[in-house]
Structure 1
Amino acid sequence: MISVVREVGLENYIIDGLVKRGWKYIDSSSLSRIGPDKPLLYNVLRRKIKEFNPIASDEDVAEAVSLLEGRSYGPRGAREVLEYLKFGVPVKLRETRTSARLKLIDYVNPGRNEFIVSSQVTHTGRGTIRNDILLYVNGIPLVSIEVKNPTDPGVSWRDAFLQVKRYEEAVPELYKYVQVGVAVEAVARYFPIVPWTRPEEVVIYEWKEEGLDSIDSTIELFRPERLLDFLRFYTYFRMEEGRETKVLARYMQYRAANKIVERVLARLRGVEDKDRGLVWHWQGSGKTLTMIFAAMKLYWLLENPTIFFVVDRIELQNQLYYENLTKLDLGPEVRPKLVDKIERLQRVLSYNDYRGEPGIFVVTVQKFLPSEFEELEKMLRAVSRVNPHSIRNRMDVVVLVDEAHRTQYGVLAEQMMRLLRKANYFAFTGTPVPRRNPLKNTFAKFSPPDELYLDKYFILDSIQDGYTVRIAYQPGPFDYKLDRQLLDEFLESEFDELPVEVRRIVERRVGRELDVRKFKVFLENEERIDRVARYIARHFKENVDGKFKAMVVAASRKACVLYKRALDRYLPSEYSEVVMTFQSQEREEVIEEYRRELMERFRVTDPRDAVHRIIEKFRTEDNPRILVVTDMLLTGFDAPILQTMYLDKPLKGHRLLQAIARVNRPYKGVKEYGLIIDFVGIFDELERAFNMYESEDLKGAVFDVDAILEEFRKRLKRLIDIVGPRPKVSEERELISRIKIIAGNLARDKEKEREFLENYRVLRKLYELIAPKLERGETTEYKWVAEIYTYYVKNLIGSSPEEELADRYYRKTIEAVGKALRIVEKEAEFSPISIDRSFFEKFIESREVSVEEKASTLLLGLTRFALYSRNDPVYVSLSDKIEKILEAWKRKLKTSLELYEEAKSIWREIYGLREEQRKLGFDRREYGVYLTLKSYGFSERRALEVTRRLMSAVKDLIDVPGWSSNPALVSEVKRRVAFTILRESKRVGIPVDRAKKLINAILEGVRSVEPS
Structure 2
Amino acid sequence: MDTNIGAKERVTQNRLIGLFKNVLKYTCLGNWETREGNVNIEEKLLTAYLSRCGYTDKEIRGAIAKLKQAANSLGGGLYNANKEVYTLLRYGVNVQAEVTEKKKMVHLIDWANPMENDLQIAEEVTIQGESDRRPDLVVYVNGIALAVIELKRSTVSAHEGIRQNIRNQQDGYIPRFFTTIQLLFAGNDTEGLHYGVIKTPEKFWLRWKEPCGEPCQPSHFTVGEYPNELDRSVLQFFEPARLLEYIHDFIIFDGGVKKAARPNQYFAVKAAQPRVRKKQNGIIWHSQGSGKSLTMIWLARWIRENVSDARVVIITDRDELDKQIESGFKDAGEQIQRAKSGGKLIEMLNAAEPWLICTLIHKFGNKNDGDAISVGNKKASKSLDLYLEELAKSLPADFRAKGNIYVFIDECHRTQGGMLHEAMKHIMGDDVMLIGFTGTPLLHTDKKKSIETFGSYIHSYKFNEAVEDGVILDLRYEARNVEQYLGKREKIDEWFDAKTRGLSSVARAALKERWAKMEKLFSSKERIDRIVADICQDMSTKRALAGGYGNAMLVADSIYQACRYWEVFQSTELKGHCAVVTSYDASTASVKDEYQGDGETEDLTKYEIYQRMIGDKTPEQFETWAKKVFTDHPGDMKLLIVVDKLLTGFDAPSATYLYIDKKMRDHNLFQAVCRVNRVDSEEKDFGYIIDYQDLFGAVKSAIEDYTNGAFDGYDADDVKGLLLTRLAEGRKALEESLQAVYTMCEVIHPQTREGYFAYFVYAENTPVENQQNECEGNANKRETFYKLVSRLVRRYIDIANEMEQAGYTAEEAADIKKQVDYFNDIKDEIKLKSGDALDLKYYDPAMRQLIDNYVRAEDSEKLVDLADISFLDLIDTEGDKAIDALPKKIKQNERSVAEILAANMRKMIISERPNNPAYFDKMSDLLNHLLQEQKDGKIQYKELIKQLIEKLKEARLTIKTKYPATIDTKGKQALYDNLGGNEALALRIHEIIKANARDGFRDMDSSGLKKMRALRRAVESALKGVEQDKLDDIMQLIVAQKEY
Identify the TM-score tier after normalising by the shorter chain: 0.5 to 0.7
Q: 1:367 Cα shift?
A: 4.7
Indicate yes or no: 2:307 matched with 1:302.
yes
The equivalent position to 1:217 in structure 2, one of 220, 233, 246, is 233
TM superposition score normalised by structure 2 = 0.63
Indicate yes or no: 2:247 matched with 1:231.
yes
Q: Percent of pairs identical after alignment? A: 24
Q: 1:145 Cα shift?
A: 0.5
Q: Distance in 2 between matches of 1:672 and 1:572?
A: 24
SS of residue in 2 equivalent to 1:289: helix
Indicate yes or no: 2:94 matched with 1:86.
no
Query: Structure 1 residues 184 and 552 mapped into 2: Cα distance closer, same or farther (>3 Å)?
Result: same
Indicate yes or no: 2:248 matched with 1:248.
no
Query: Structure 1 residues 770 and 78 mapped into 2: Cα distance closer, same or farther (>3 Å)?
Result: farther
Indicate yes or no: 2:355 matched with 1:359.
yes
The equivalent position to 1:711 in structure 2, one of 707, 725, 732, is 732
Q: Distance in 2 between matches of 1:703 and 1:141?
A: 44
Indicate yes or no: 2:185 matched with 1:182.
yes
Q: Distance in 2 between matches of 1:723 and 1:34?
A: 41
Q: 1:304 Cα shift?
A: 3.3
Indicate yes or no: 2:361 matched with 1:349.
no
Which amino acid in structure 1 is aligned with residue 285 of structure 2? W
> What number of residue pairs does the alignment pair up?
739
Aligned pairs for 1:763-778 within 5 A: 763=792, 766-767=795-796, 769-770=798-799, 778=816
Task: Deviation per CA, 1:684-710: give whole Å up to 9, x if none.
Answer: 176121112222321221236545543
Query: Structure 1 residues 202 and 709 mapped into 2: Cα distance closer, same or farther (>3 Å)?
Result: closer
Query: Structure 1 residues 470 and 966 mapped into 2: Cα distance closer, same or farther (>3 Å)?
Result: closer
Aligned pairs for 1:404-415 within 5 A: 404-407=412-415, 410-412=418-420, 414-415=422-423
SS of residue in 2 equivalent to 1:229: helix
Q: 1:615 Cα shift?
A: 0.5
Query: Residue in 1 aligned with 2:626?
Result: 614
Q: Distance in 2 between matches of 1:46 and 1:281?
A: 44
SS of residue in 2 equivalent to 1:129: coil
Q: 1:368 Cα shift?
A: 5.4
Q: Distance in 2 between matches of 1:126 and 1:144?
A: 19
Which amino acid in structure 2 is aligned with residue 534 of structure 1? A
Q: 1:190 Cα shift?
A: 3.0
Q: Distance in 2 between matches of 1:516 and 1:695?
A: 40
Q: Distance in 2 between matches of 1:481 and 1:156?
A: 56
The equivalent position to 1:552 in structure 2, one of 551, 554, 565, is 554
Query: Residue in 2 aligned with 1:162?
Result: 163
Equivalent residues of 1:345, 1:367 under 8 A apart: no
Which amino acid in structure 1 is aligned with residue 563 of structure 2? V
Q: Distance in 2 between matches of 1:65 and 1:654?
A: 50
Indicate yes or no: 2:696 matched with 1:700.
no
Q: Distance in 2 between matches of 1:619 and 1:361?
A: 28
Query: Structure 1 residues 345 and 681 mapped into 2: Cα distance closer, same or farther (>3 Å)?
Result: same
Aligned pairs for 1:402-481 within 5 A: 402-407=410-415, 410-412=418-420, 414-420=422-428, 421-437=430-446, 442-448=449-455, 451=456, 453-479=457-483
Q: 1:434 Cα shift?
A: 2.4
Which amino acid in structure 2 is aligned with residue 183 of structure 1? A
Q: Distance in 1 between matches of 2:480 and 2:184?
A: 46
Task: Deviation per CA, 1:164-202: give whole Å up to 9, x if none.
Answer: 22222311111121121111122234333335x6x5565
Aligned pairs for 1:20-169 within 5 A: 20-29=23-32, 35-36=37-38, 38-49=39-50, 54=55, 57-72=59-74, 73-92=77-96, 94-96=98-100, 101-151=105-155, 155-169=156-170
The equivalent position to 2:19 in structure 1, one of 14, 17, 20, is 17
Q: Distance in 2 between matches of 1:171 and 1:721?
A: 38
Q: 1:235 Cα shift?
A: 0.9
Indicate yes or no: 2:693 matched with 1:680.
yes
Query: Structure 1 residues 522 and 246 mapped into 2: Cα distance closer, same or farther (>3 Å)?
Result: farther
Deviating more after overlay: 406-415 vs 556-565: 406-415
Task: Deviation per CA, 1:55-96: give whole Å up to 9, x if none.
Answer: 763453343234333321432222212222222234455345
Which amino acid in structure 2 is aligned with residue 40 of structure 1? I
Q: 1:123 Cα shift?
A: 0.8
Q: 1:248 Cα shift?
A: 0.8
Q: 1:653 Cα shift?
A: 1.1
Task: Deviation per CA, 1:264-306: give whole Å up to 9, x if none.
Answer: 12x2xxxxxx611222221111122112211111122223311
Aligned pairs for 1:612-761 within 5 A: 612-621=624-633, 622-684=635-697, 687-703=708-724, 705-715=726-736, 734=752
Task: Deviation per CA, 1:507-527: give whole Å up to 9, x if none.
Answer: xxxxxxxx9997896479333
If asked which structure has higher relative contact order (CA below 8 Å, sep 6+), I would say: 1
Deviating more after overlay: 369-378 vs 614-623: 369-378
Q: Distance in 2 between matches of 1:337 and 1:633?
A: 24
Equivalent residues of 2:67, 2:85 under 8 A apart: no
Q: 1:650 Cα shift?
A: 0.4
Aligned pairs for 1:193-204 within 5 A: 193-195=197-199, 199-200=201-202, 202-204=204-206
Q: Distance in 2 between matches of 1:481 and 1:194?
A: 60
Task: Deviation per CA, 1:885-906: give whole Å up to 9, x if none.
Answer: xxxxxxxxxxxxxxxxxxxxxx
Q: Distance in 1 between matches of 2:340 and 2:629?
A: 26
Query: Residue in 2 aligned with 1:877?
Result: none
Q: Distance in 1 between matches of 2:665 and 2:95?
A: 59
Query: Residue in 1 aligned with 2:1019?
Result: none
SS of residue in 2 equivalent to 1:194: coil
Q: Distance in 2 between matches of 1:476 and 1:626?
A: 19
Equivalent residues of 1:768, 1:810 under 8 A apart: no
Query: Structure 1 residues 762 and 108 mapped into 2: Cα distance closer, same or farther (>3 Å)?
Result: farther
Q: Distance in 1 between matches of 2:859 and 2:468?
A: 35
Q: Distance in 2 between matches of 1:164 and 1:517?
A: 68
Query: Structure 1 residues 378 and 147 mapped into 2: Cα distance closer, same or farther (>3 Å)?
Result: same
Q: Distance in 2 between matches of 1:698 and 1:516?
A: 39
Which amino acid in structure 2 is aligned with residue 340 of structure 1? K
Q: 1:474 Cα shift?
A: 0.8
Task: Deviation per CA, 1:599-633: give whole Å up to 9, x if none.
Answer: 67656563112101111111112321100000011
Query: Residue in 1 aligned with 2:489?
Result: none
Query: Structure 1 residues 264 and 349 mapped into 2: Cα distance closer, same or farther (>3 Å)?
Result: same
Equivalent residues of 2:677, 2:686 under 8 A apart: yes
Query: Structure 1 residues 166 and 311 mapped into 2: Cα distance closer, same or farther (>3 Å)?
Result: same
Q: Distance in 1 between matches of 2:85 and 2:840?
A: 35
Equivalent residues of 1:157, 1:187 under 8 A apart: yes
Query: Residue in 1 aligned with 2:819?
Result: 781
Query: Structure 1 residues 251 and 201 mapped into 2: Cα distance closer, same or farther (>3 Å)?
Result: closer
Q: Distance in 1 between matches of 2:415 and 2:665?
A: 15
Query: Structure 1 residues 572 and 655 mapped into 2: Cα distance closer, same or farther (>3 Å)?
Result: closer
Q: Distance in 2 between matches of 1:809 and 1:225?
A: 52
SS of residue in 1 equivalent to 2:312: strand
Indicate yes or no: 2:289 matched with 1:289.
no
Unpaired stretches in structure 1, ≥5 consecutive residues: 268-273, 385-389, 483-514, 744-754, 826-961, 968-1012
Equivalent residues of 1:182, 1:188 under 8 A apart: no
Q: Distance in 1 between matches of 2:632 and 2:126?
A: 40
C-alpha RMSD over aligned residues: 4.5
Equivalent residues of 2:473, 2:677 under 8 A apart: yes
Equivalent residues of 2:33, 2:125 under 8 A apart: no
